[in-house]
Amino acid sequence: LNLGLELDIPNSVLSSGTSALYHAGLEYSPVKNIALRAGLNQEAGGNGFTMGLGLTNGGFRFDYAYVQRPGLPGDIPHYFTLSYVGEKSTIVSRKLKRVEPSVKFYNPANRLITDQDSVAVSAEVRAVRVMDQKTVWSIAVISATEEIREVSEIVDLTGISLNGKIIGSGQPGTIETVVSLEAGRNVIAITGRTPDEHMAASSEIKVLRFAPFSDAPINYWAIKPIALLVTLDIVKGFPRNLFMPEKGITRAELVTLLVRSLNISQQTLNNHYLRIFNDVPLSHWANKFVGYGSSVKFAAGYPDGTFKPDKTLTRAEGVVILARYAGLNEAAISISPFTDLKLNFWANKHIAAAKAAGMLKYLEGQEFSPDRKLTRAEACEILYRVPLIKNKVDRFWETGLTSGTQ
């Protein structure tokens, strides 16, 4: 529906007896190719009406108009026009560029550690079809304009399988199910294909089912490093399902744990049955481990020739040993690594290096408390973040292989 209004203002509009003239028109299209028109034609001699019709077909337009001229009696003109305006058309076409199938897990999180015997699994299994959409607007013979833009649409994958078994996906494009877990590392793999069978998508996550210790439950703050180091056979618990996470770790215990994490052959260890320290005789249970640790420079004795194997480590002493084990260079010190450490504190260079390497994340925003005992849980937490151990953990998650002989 179109409405038009026109106003004629004569030069003498301000003179007496002279007024403005109005012309109004209305156009209505009941269907696409027909236009009905009516209007008011005001002249000095009176008001006249206008009527009209417009037809468009095949790019041609026919217009008819009838006009009353009240100022000229008997003058009732009829107008006819025929013109070529071209036939308008819009053509949309799409060309496939690529298909991006994907499987997206919502639950559980990858590398979840749980003590449950099953886990709820939810995932999205869809593909994105990316296409170039070409739109051409044209008027035959006269002109054409085109636009190309990238568009996409989402399609659901078919033939969904979980760990090799075809399953129903419930709602299109989704999976909601429960998977049983065995003790140890579990792989949950989902595969699907695009409807045309040309492309497949797959994704997998790993879950560790771990039986926690009675004194280090699944929600214990350091359960992740404890569970992984136990699984890798780097550290063990005690009888009666105890881990004693808050127990202080001795010098001999830490050095033994570190040496065993290196996967040293038994023959190499036996070559280090030596009496290097006065208080670590050949009969001492940790003799060969202390001997090897001393030879690779991450375990040092005291000036009096002793090692003090049964001495509980302070946090400062333990971090120094772990920093040496990690192969970290001593850091240059311009400011203290923790607010409670004096600038000239004897272990600052090792503590700063360990902090910079991300090994002391559990102490972020806290004081270091250098004389506090280093607990078994802390030792696991710090060791877990040593690059060598992180690589072992990553290899375990990816392949299921474990190493270590503790």
Per-residue pLDDT of the chain (406 residues; tens, 9 = 90+): 666 555 555 555 555 555 677 778 888 888 888 999 988 877 777 778 889 999 988 778 899 998 887 777 777 788 999 988 777 788 999 999 988 888 999 999 999 999 999 999 999 999 898 999 999 988 777 788 999 999 999 888 888 899 989 886 556 788 899 999 999 999 999 998 888 767 888 999 999 999 999 999 999 999 999 999 999 999 999 999 999 999 999 999 999 999 989 988 888 888 888 889 999 999 999 999 999 999 988 888 889 999 999 999 999 999 999 999 999 999 998 999 999 999 999 999 999 999 999 999 999 999 999 999 999 999 999 999 999 999 999 999 999 998 643 3
Closest CA to 328 of 308, 358, 303, 287: 358
Positive or negative, the Cα torsion across 389, 405, 401, 165?
A: negative
CA distances from 311 to 221, 314, 327 (A): 26, 9, 24
Residues 6+ away with beta carbon under 8 Å from 219: none
Strand partners, 154: 128
What string of DSSP letters covers 94-153?
A: EEEEEEEEEEEEEES-TTEEE--SEEEEEEEEEEEEEEEEEEEEEETTTEEEEEEEEEEE
What phi and psi values does residue 321 have, to the nearest 5 degrees? -60, -45
- Asked if residue 266 lies in contact with residue 249, where contact means CB atoms within 8 angstroms, the answer is no
**Which two three-digit tokens encode residue 153?**
């649409």
What is the domain partition of the chain in residue ranges?
2-85, 90-103+125-177+188-204, 223-399
